[in-house]
Amino acid sequence: MIGIEDCLTEAMSIPGALGAILVDHTSGMAVAGKGIADPGRAAAGLSEAYRATLDGIAMASQETGFRIEDVIVTTGSAYHLVRPMEMMFDGPLLLCVRLDVERSNLALARRRLRTITDELVAS
Amino acid sequence: MAAPTLDAVLTGLAQDEATGSLRVGKEGTVYYVRGRVSYVECAATPGVEELLGASGRISANGMRHARQEAGPGGDGGALLVDRGVLSRGELEFCVLSATLDAAFFLLTSRTVRTRFRESDAHWLGVHWFFDVPGLLRECARRRARLERAWPSAELDARPVTPLRRIPGTHALLTRLQWELLLSADSTATPVELARRLGRPAYSTLLAVRELAAAGLVVTGETAALPKRTPKPSAQQPTPPREPGRSTSELPQVNGDATDVNLLLRLRDALEAL
C-alpha cells in the first residue's frame, strides 16, 4: 500500500517518464507533482482536458454511466497519460504522466499506471 | 488597536513554527505542526469522520471506538488504515480534501476571537502538510474557480430548487450534480446538501453554480420569468400543443377580438409617442 508521494515516485520510475502530477479534478488543484515546471497551470489544463474528454465522450457514447479507464494524448515529443481514480466521496483524482515518445513503451506505461493507481486506492 | 485579521494570526503562527490548535470563534479549528497546517475543521463542512461515515466505510460507532483507542496525541489515521477502513493514499486524500474544504469556509470567517492551545493535536494524527501561504493561495484560487463557473453568489446560501422542466431536450450531468438534483428539496442549501450527501461543501457549491450556468436550477432570473408570461384564463384554456410543433414562447395567434383591440391600443400608443 502506498501514499500520495510514493505514487508519484512510482510513476516517475516508468521508463521514459518526464513528469508526473496528481490533480484533484473537481477543484482543478495540483495535489502533488514531480518534474512539472508549473504544477498549478498543469493541473488546471489537465483538469480541463479531462472534463472536455468526459463531456465529449458522454455525447458521443451510447452507454450511460460509462467510465474512462485512461486518456492518451500523443504529441510530437511526448505521450500524456491521464488515469482517473474514483475516490470514495469526491474526485476523481487524476494521475497524469508525461512520457518521452522515443524512450517509452505505451502499453507498458499504461499497465504500470494501472498498478500504481490500484495500490494507491487499494482497500 | 485593531484586532489582527485571521490571515495575520495564521501567518504569525506559521512564522513562530507553532505546534497546537487555533480555535476560530465557534466556527472551527486549525491544527499546526511546527508552523505548518496539518488539518482544518469547520462547523459548516463535513470532516474526515463524516466523509468516511457517509461513504459507508465505517459506522459512527466504529469511528468513536477508533477515536477512543487512538487517545490524545495518538495516530487515529494509522489505526484506521491498519483496520483496513481505507488505504494510506485514501487517508491522505481524505485529510487533504477535508482540510481545504474547511479552510475555504473558515478563512472567510469574520471572527477575530481566536484561542491557541499549545501542542494540542487532532486525533487522526498528521497525514499531510500545508504551508500557510499555499493554503491561502488555494482558497483564493477556489474562489476564482467558483466565479468562473457562475459569477454570482446568489445561490450559495439559498435552497437549491431544480427546474421542473429543462429548456433543452438533453442535459449532461456529473455524478455529484445528479445526486444533488435528487436530494434537492427546495429547502436545503448547498452546504446542507453537502452534509447530507457526505460530499465536500466546496464541490457541492461548485456543482450548484455549474447547474445554474447550465440553466438547470431556479435562479433569481428564472424565478422572475413566470411573472412576465400571462396566465391562461380559466374559462378559455389554451389548446394542448401537438407534438412536434414549435414550443417557442411567442403568443399564439387565435383571431380573438381582444387581441385585435390590444393591437389597436398598441398602435394608438405608438402613434402618440
Angle at which helix A4-12 crosses helix A106-120, to 10 degrees, equals 170
- Give A4-120's CATH code, choosing from 3.90.180.10, 3.40.50.1370, 3.30.450.30, 3.30.365.10: 3.30.450.30
Kindly state whether residues B135 and B183 are assigned to the same domain.
no
pLDDT at B247 over 60: no
Question: Strand pairing of A93-100 and B20-24?
Answer: unpaired
Average pLDDT over residues B38-57: 92
Closest to B218 measured CA to CA, from B147, B155, B156, B149: B155
Alpha-carbon distance A104 to A112, whole Å? 12
Average pLDDT over residues B174-201: 92
Alpha-carbon distance B80 to B70, whole Å? 10
Q: Is residue B77 part of a domain?
A: yes
The SS3 assignment for A40 reads helix
Shortest Cα distance, chain A CAs vs residue B97, angstroms:
8
pLDDT at B237 over 80: no
Give the total number of structural domains in chain B. Answer: 2
Domain boundary pick from B178, B201, B222 = B222
Kindly state whether residues B26 and B123 are assigned to the same domain.
yes
Least confident of B48-57, B112-121, B194-203, B227-236: B227-236
Query: Which residues on A lie below 8 Å from B89 (Cβ)?
Result: 1-4, 7, 119-122
Contact B146, B205 (CB under 8 A): yes
Kindly state whether residues B209 and B179 are assigned to the same domain.
yes
Domain boundary pick from B94, B123, B144 = B144
Q: Does A87 touch chain B (CB under 8 A)?
A: yes
Per-residue model confidence as pLDDT tens digits over A7-61: 999 999 999 999 999 999 988 999 999 999 999 999 999 999 999 998 888 888 8
- Chain A residue with the nearest C-alpha to that of B81: A123
Sheet holding A17-24, edge to edge: A29-34, A17-24, A93-100, A78-85, A71-74
Q: Does B81 touch chain A (CB under 8 A)?
A: yes
Whether residue A122 and residue B206 make contact (CB cut-off 8 A), yes or no, is no
Q: Which pLDDT does position A58 carry in this prediction?
A: 84
Among A4, A5, A89, A118, pick the best mutation site for testing chain B contact (most B Cβ within 10 A).
Answer: A89
Alpha-carbon distance B64 to B35, whole Å? 29
pLDDT at B263 over 80: no
Per-residue model confidence as pLDDT tens digits over A52-83: 998 888 888 877 778 899 999 999 999 999 99
- Chain B residue with the nearest C-alpha to that of A91: B203
Q: Is the ipTM of this complex over 0.85?
A: yes
Query: In which region does residue B163 sit, left (phi positive, over 0), alpha (psi from -120 to 50) or beta (all else)?
Result: beta
| pTM for the predicted model, two decimal places | 0.81
The SS3 assignment for A27 reads coil
pLDDT cut 70: percent of chain B above it:
84
Q: Which pLDDT does position B188 carry in this prediction?
A: 94
Average pLDDT over residues B64-91: 89
Structural domain boundaries enclosing B120:
6-144
| A/B interface, count of CB pairs below 8 Å | 78
Q: Is residue B251 part of a domain?
A: no
Mean pLDDT of chain B: 84
Kindly state whether residues B82 and B183 are assigned to the same domain.
no
